[in-house]
């Protein structure tokens, strides 16, 4: 018999409907798995077992009565500790935030999940204020890779990715300001989607502005579509939220890729050095897209590396996050975060607006690119997971995490939907991710193509290949 922790959200809901098992059993299994993995992987800030089991019992009553509350009633879910969750402190990986407080409000995505009957089993780890592409913080220490605990899980949604990969809940909420759901998804071998900006409302507004997205992190694309159907609806607290999607994302999954025009850019026109194992795994998956009927062309977007402009936007946001901290509190910060905050505070308004100009031009160029191509395919990352506890790989020569994430942060600047799909492993058994990117508002195409890869067996599943 398949363990409950190995089932997707859709499989759990189907089992509840048929009476094969209950939300209480699924929740206990997820909590047990979370407790089991925590000492080695460190995916959680806290587990909320009592509340989770209470919600699971309520869900079980609804299913017995044939009246589930919504699409994910009784499904165990984790929430990145950047997002507000009623009744639970949100500490954002920082020793500068006190646990004392009312904690009486849900972020919009959490509120939608609550309305649909989801069971919240815990808050997952993040680097301090989500500032970097790996997950370690002064508050919670180092989060490790589920495939090799000596390696990083990636970040900043590293705890969420590790939890999903190891069966501690099939659905997770992450945030992505420069790759923060896609990076850990690629390193941990799961699926993650950064939706079009505004598709998932965000409140409170991020200090990183319109770079920051909320996205689903799941075992496969079908679960991500289900989760997006739940959380991708407007909320009056977010003035930039989009109107409802024209239809359910889940309903569009069977559309496949036949006839889609796909551009494959293995290295952004030679700008990025990609590990051979990564390059080979991504190319095999691209060939599978062609076999499924996509029209694949090797083509590079006009994407001169915008890292300097991204740094201006990102470091300014970090400075804004910590602006109110006094000298003693600043001493509590991650030293790397303190360094970029100091740099960000020195930018002028004109520096910031110049970076916005770069961003707008990048968006224009990608808009024109998608006049010719439905999808862009790249590696999610040029490397597989490196040593845990480091911001950059040893000997890489990189100064900041953006040095090894050139495929991810540009699409935060353009606000496009982008997903990471696991497509194999390297010689050490570490996962490789493929990135799918579409024009703004075409989240459906990204999910359709990802689902087609899963259906064709091109991906790896958490815990195996």
| 244/246 Cα distance (integer angstroms) | 6
Backbone angles phi, psi at 11, to 5 degrees: -70, -35
What single DSSP character describes residue 392? S
Backbone angles phi, psi at 442, to 5 degrees: -110, 45
User: Residues 61, 63, 66, 67: is their CA dihedral positive or negative?
Assistant: positive
Are β-strands 418-425 and 431-438 bridged in parallel, bridged antiparallel, or unpaired? antiparallel
| 172/110 Cα distance (integer angstroms) | 10
| 31/34 Cα distance (integer angstroms) | 5
Diameter of the chain measured on Cα atoms: 62
Tell how many helices (H) and how many strands (E) occur in the chain: 14, 13
The contacts of residue 446 (CB under 8 Å, 6+ apart) are 193, 375, 417, 418, 419, 436, 437, 438
Are 74 and 113 contacting, i.e. CB atoms less than 8 angstroms apart?
A: no
Show contacts of 296-299: CB within 8 Å, 24+ apart. 296/262, 296/264, 297/261, 297/262, 297/263, 297/264, 297/373, 298/263, 298/264, 298/265, 298/266, 299/263, 299/264, 299/265, 299/373
Beta strands in 159-234 (DSSP E): 171-176, 191-194, 213-218
| 157/125 Cα distance (integer angstroms) | 7
Buried b (16+ CB within 10 A) or exposed e, 140-150: bebbbbbbbbe
Distance linking the first and last C-alpha atoms of the chain? 20
Which residues are known catalytic residues?
80, 156, 180
Are 266 and 274 contacting, i.e. CB atoms less than 8 angstroms apart?
A: yes
């Amino acid at each position: 018999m398949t363990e409950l922790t190995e089932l997707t959200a859709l499989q759990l809901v189907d089992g509840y409907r048929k009476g094969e098992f209950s939300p209480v059993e699924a929740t206990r299994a997820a909590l047990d798995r979370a407790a089991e993995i925590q000492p080695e992987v460190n995916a959680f800030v806290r587990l909320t077992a009592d509340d989770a089991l209470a919600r699971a019992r309520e869900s079980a009553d609804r299913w017995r009565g044939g009246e589930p509350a919504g699409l994910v009633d009784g499904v165990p879910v984790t929430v990145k500790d950047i997002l507000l969750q009623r009744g639970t402190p949100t500490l954002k990986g920082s020793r500068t935030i006190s646990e004392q407080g009312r904690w009486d409000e849900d972020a919009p995505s959490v509120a939608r999940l609550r309305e649909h009957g989801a069971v919240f089993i815990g808050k997952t780890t993040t680097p301090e204020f989500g500032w970097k592409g790996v997950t370690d913080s002064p508050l919670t220490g180092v989060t490790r890779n589920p495939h090799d605990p000596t390696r990083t899980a990636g970040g900043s949604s590293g705890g969420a990715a590790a939890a999903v990969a190891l069966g501690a809940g099939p659905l997770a909420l992450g945030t992505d300001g420069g790759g923060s759901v896609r990076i850990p998804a690629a390193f941990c071998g799961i699926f993650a989607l950064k939706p079009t900006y505004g598709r998932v409302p965000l409140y409170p507004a991020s200090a990183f502005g319109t770079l920051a997205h909320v996205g689903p992190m799941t075992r496969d694309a079908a679960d991500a579509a289900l989760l997006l159907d739940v959380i991708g609806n407007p909320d009056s607290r977010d003035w930039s939220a989009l109107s409802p999607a024209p239809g359910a994302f889940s309903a569009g999954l069977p559309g496949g890729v036949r006839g889609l025009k796909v551009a494959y850019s293995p290295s952004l026109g030679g700008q990025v050095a990609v590990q051979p194992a990564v390059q080979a795994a991504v190319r095999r998956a691209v060939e599978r897209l062609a076999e499924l009927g996509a029209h694949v062309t090797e083509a590079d977007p006009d994407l001169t590396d915008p890292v300097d402009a991204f740094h201006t936007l990102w470091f300014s946001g970090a400075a804004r996050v910590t602006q109110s901290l006094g000298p003693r509190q600043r001493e509590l910060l991650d030293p790397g975060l303190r360094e970029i905050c100091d740099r960000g505070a020195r930018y002028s308004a004109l520096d910031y607006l110049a970076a916005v100009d770069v961003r707008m031009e990048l968006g224009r160029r990608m808009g024109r690119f998608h006049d010719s191509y439905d999808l862009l395919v790249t590696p999610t990352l040029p490397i597989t997971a490196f040593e845990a506890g480091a911001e950059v790989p040893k000997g890489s020569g990189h100064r900041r995490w953006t040095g090894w994430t050139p495929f991810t942060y540009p699409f935060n600047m353009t606000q496009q939907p982008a997903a990471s799909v696991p497509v194999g492993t390297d010689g050490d058994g570490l996962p490789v991710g493929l990135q799918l990117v579409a024009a703004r508002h075409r989240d459906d195409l990204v999910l359709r193509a990802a689902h087609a890869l899963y259906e064709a067996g091109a991906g790896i599943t958490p815990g195996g290949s």
